[in-house]
Structure 1
Amino acid sequence: MAKTSQVNRNKRREKMAARDAAKRAALKAIVNDRSLPVEDRFDATLKLAQLPRNGAKTRVRLRCELTGRARGNYRKFKLCRVALRDLASAGQIPGMVKSSW
């Protein structure tokens, strides 16, 4: 089980990223628009820098929903490899069977 502080920090980052997504996308569109004057683009860059860093989508870490483990995660299931194997062995995941050859 991961530290609860790390899991809570990641959840807070997810909320901030969802909250700031539209504002961040609008500012990035202004910055990348070459037809606008340089001053406007520079102002948008400064406003983008004023936004909190934890509001960026790249700061969010993919964690296991059950254990909070940060490594070895399957995006499709939102589970780490250890939890996925345990659930699959117990027959909790429909359609997933242990392979044998």
Structure 2
Amino acid sequence: MARKSIIARNERRKELVEKYAAKREELKKAGDYEALRKLPRDSSATRVRNRCVLTGRGRGNYEKFGLCRNMFRKLALEGKLPGVRKASW
């Protein structure tokens, strides 16, 4: 499981992205890169990491479910993910 501080940092980044999204879009359209540079770094959407909602794992995530591959497999085998079945052919 990811450290709580890393998960919290990512949540703060998400809030900043949401807060500055409109302003960043305006500045990009105007071509004012000097003002864009003065905004907080973490307000850029590229700094947000997709993380598993259960464990906080930052790699191997299924964006559709918001889960990492390990938790996805575990929950799918337990039948807790609607519409997901193990393949057989």
User: Normalization by structure 2: what TM-score?
Assistant: 0.96
Q: Distance in 1 between matches of 2:34 and 2:87?
A: 54
Superposed displacement of residue 95, structure 1: 1.6
Matched, 1:81 2:32: no
Give the letter aligned to residue 71 of structure 1.
R
Q: Distance in 2 between matches of 1:6 and 1:56?
A: 17
Superposed displacement of residue 97, structure 1: 1.2
Alignment of 1:1-101 (within 5 A): 1-31=1-31, 44-101=32-89
Superposed displacement of residue 100, structure 1: 2.4
The two structures, once aligned, show a CA RMSD in angstroms of 0.7
Give the letter aligned to residue 77 of structure 2.
S
Q: Return 5+ residue gaps in structure 1 as ranges.
A: 32-43
How many residues matched? 89
Cα deviations by residue, 1:42-93 (Å, 9 ceiling, x for unpaired): xx22111100000000100000001000000001001100000010011001
Query: Mean alpha-carbon deviation: is it higher for 18-27 or for 89-98?
Result: 89-98
User: Normalization by structure 1: what TM-score?
Assistant: 0.85
Structure exhibiting the larger radius of gyration computed from Cα positions: 1
Q: Which runs of 4+ in 1 moved over 3 A?
A: none
Determine what percentage of the aligned residue pairs are the same residue. Answer: 51
User: Does the residue aligned with 1:95 lie in a helix, a strand or coil?
Assistant: coil
Q: Return 5+ residue gaps in structure 2 as ranges.
A: none
